[in-house]
């Protein structure tokens, strides 16, 4: 029986675990993929105070190193279900773990475009991670789809590796940070295609060769990088009774859900700003609020 189980080893879950360990809680971190979570996919992070520039994988490594140095217990197991009564039960394919408190910090994953054959070519021409797959398209032409900060920053990263980036956005203005918009506009090998959408994939001999746009134009690109939004990772909560909106967890000002003793933090929650800085602080705050209640 743990005091606290944390679902997700992204920056939010790890920050929470550091605060919990330091508060003397018996805490277990559970992670279904790689420690560090989404930051593993970020090329450069330049908006975290005190660290002027760091690669996402380096920050993920530092976080994981801290977990190990503090002796925080973790297990690499995917949660499939939870039962949220007085004691919180967390199920993985082979185990059931129990705790007094649960913190859900399971983040979100990229949305796809919904095109025919899209899933088939994921990893074979279609990607949601420029840092992971960009080098495969060295000196080739690629398309980046999306209009937010993620799409802009990943287009800039790819522009330094590939021959040309087509940045395709369905509206006439970008939603991202001003500095990124200016940088994208000044980059010689990024061509902006606004008010347009990808409607199909061009495939020849089972190889992705390009895309078709809404205006019938065709672009020959070897890689397509998709940044059009996210889906919260809450499938394991379907029968839990936790209140969700559009799949995101609803929490109060103390990061507690509608179920007593069940908290949520970071990108999996319904909020305005999805950034590293608040994902980290929310994890820490949730633990402080739950320990204040206990004491």
- By CB under 6 A, name the binding residues for ligand FAD: 7-13, 30-33, 37-39, 41-42, 45, 47, 78-79, 105-107, 150, 153-154, 233, 236, 266-267, 274-277, 279
Minimum gap (Å) between residue 82 Cβ and ligand FAD: 10
Between 61 and 209, CB nearer to ligand FAD: 61
Quote the CA–CA distance of 290 and 274 in Å, as a whole number: 23
Minimum gap (Å) between residue 125 Cβ and ligand FAD: 18
**In the 8-state DSSP scheme, what is residue 281?**
H
Between 78 and 120, CB nearer to ligand FAD: 78
Q: Which residue has the tokens 């944390």?
A: 6
> Residues near 179 by Cβ (< 8 Å), separated by ≥ 6?
none
Quote the CA–CA distance of 65 and 154 in Å, as a whole number: 27
Between 64 and 289, CB nearer to ligand FAD: 64
Between 60 and 210, CB nearer to ligand FAD: 60
Minimum gap (Å) between residue 267 Cβ and ligand FAD: 4
Distances (CA, A) of 19 to 66, 103, 228, 253, 284: 12, 12, 33, 18, 6
| Torsion of Cα atoms, 129 then 207 then 137 then 116, to 10° | -30
- Specify which residues 248 forms β-bridges with: 245
Mapped onto helix, strand or coil, the DSSP state of residue 137 is: helix
| Torsion of Cα atoms, 206 then 210 then 215 then 216, to 10° | -50
Between 25 and 158, CB nearer to ligand FAD: 158
Minimum gap (Å) between residue 145 Cβ and ligand FAD: 13
How many residues in total does the chain contain? 295
Our answer to whether residue 252 is catalytic in this structure is: no
Minimum gap (Å) between residue 231 Cβ and ligand FAD: 11
Our answer to whether residue 246 is catalytic in this structure is: no
Catalytic residue among 129, 206, 215, 235: 129
Which two tokens mark 156? Answer: 């800039």
Between 47 and 258, CB nearer to ligand FAD: 47
Minimum gap (Å) between residue 106 Cβ and ligand FAD: 4
Name the nearest CA neighbour of 283 among 3, 70, 4, 2: 4
Q: Which residue has the tokens 């994902």?
A: 279
Catalytic residue among 132, 178, 206, 267: 132
Name the nearest CA neighbour of 164 among 96, 210, 207: 210
Catalytic residue among 3, 133, 178, 183: 133
Our answer to whether residue 129 is catalytic in this structure is: yes
Catalytic residues: 129, 132-133
């Amino acid at each position: 029986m743990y005091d606290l189980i944390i679902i997700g080893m992204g920056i939010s879950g790890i920050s929470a675990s550091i605060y919990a360990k330091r508060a003397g809680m018996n805490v277990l971190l559970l992670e279904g993929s790689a420690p560090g979570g989404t930051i593993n996919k970020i090329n450069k992070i330049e908006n975290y105070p005190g660290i002027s520039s760091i690669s996402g994988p380096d920050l993920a490594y530092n976080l994981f190193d801290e977990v190990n140095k503090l002796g925080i217990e973790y297990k690499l197991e995917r949660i499939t279900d939870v039962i949220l009564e007085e004691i919180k039960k967390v199920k993985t394919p082979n185990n059931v773990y129990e705790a007094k408190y649960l913190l859900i910090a399971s983040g979100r994953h990229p949305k796809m475009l919904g095109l025919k054959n899209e899933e088939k070519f994921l990893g074979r021409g279609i990607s949601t991670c420029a840092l992971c797959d960009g080098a495969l398209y060295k000196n080739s032409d690629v398309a980046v789809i999306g209009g937010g900060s993620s799409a802009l920053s990943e287009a800039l990263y790819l522009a330094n590796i590939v021959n040309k980036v087509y940045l395709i956005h369905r509206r006439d203005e970008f939603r991202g940070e001003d500095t990124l918009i200016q940088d994208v506009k000044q980059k010689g090998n990024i061509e902006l295609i606004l008010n347009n959408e990808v409607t199909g994939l061009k495939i020849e001999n089972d190889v992705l060769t390009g895309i078709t746009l809404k205006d019938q134009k065709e672009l020959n690109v070897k890689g397509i990088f998709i940044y059009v939004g996210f889906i919260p990772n809450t499938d394991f909560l379907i029968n839990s009774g936790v209140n969700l909106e559009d799949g995101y967890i609803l929490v109060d000002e103390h990061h507690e859900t509608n179920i007593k003793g069940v908290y949520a933090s970071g990108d999996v929650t319904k909020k305005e700003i999805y950034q590293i800085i608040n994902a980290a602080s929310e994890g820490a705050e949730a633990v402080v609020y739950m320990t204040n209640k206990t004491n």
